[in-house]
Amino acid sequence: MKYATIIGVLLGFLLAVGALWGGVVGFLVVLVLCGVGGAVGAHIEGVIDLRRAFNSSGRGRG
């Protein structure tokens, strides 16, 4: 998908629009959800590899 990162950010924004009425906390929720949407979109595009990032944190256990 060519524009997955942009679509992810927009979807994160749309999901967080309701939080705008929450003042500063709502603004922070919007920023976090846009970041998550952008990261998922970038992962889908192949720009970043989230599986590698999360798997590396579990090394050395057990």
Residue range of the domain that includes 43:
3-48
pLDDT on residue 10? 83
Helices (H) and strands (E) in the chain, counts: 3, 0
- The answer to whether position 10 is within a domain reads yes
Buried b (16+ CB within 10 A) or exposed e, 16-31: beebeeeeeeeeebbe
23-52 per-position pLDDT tens digit: 777 777 777 877 888 888 888 888 888 888
pLDDT on residue 46? 86
- The answer to whether position 61 is within a domain reads no
Number of domains the chain contains: 1
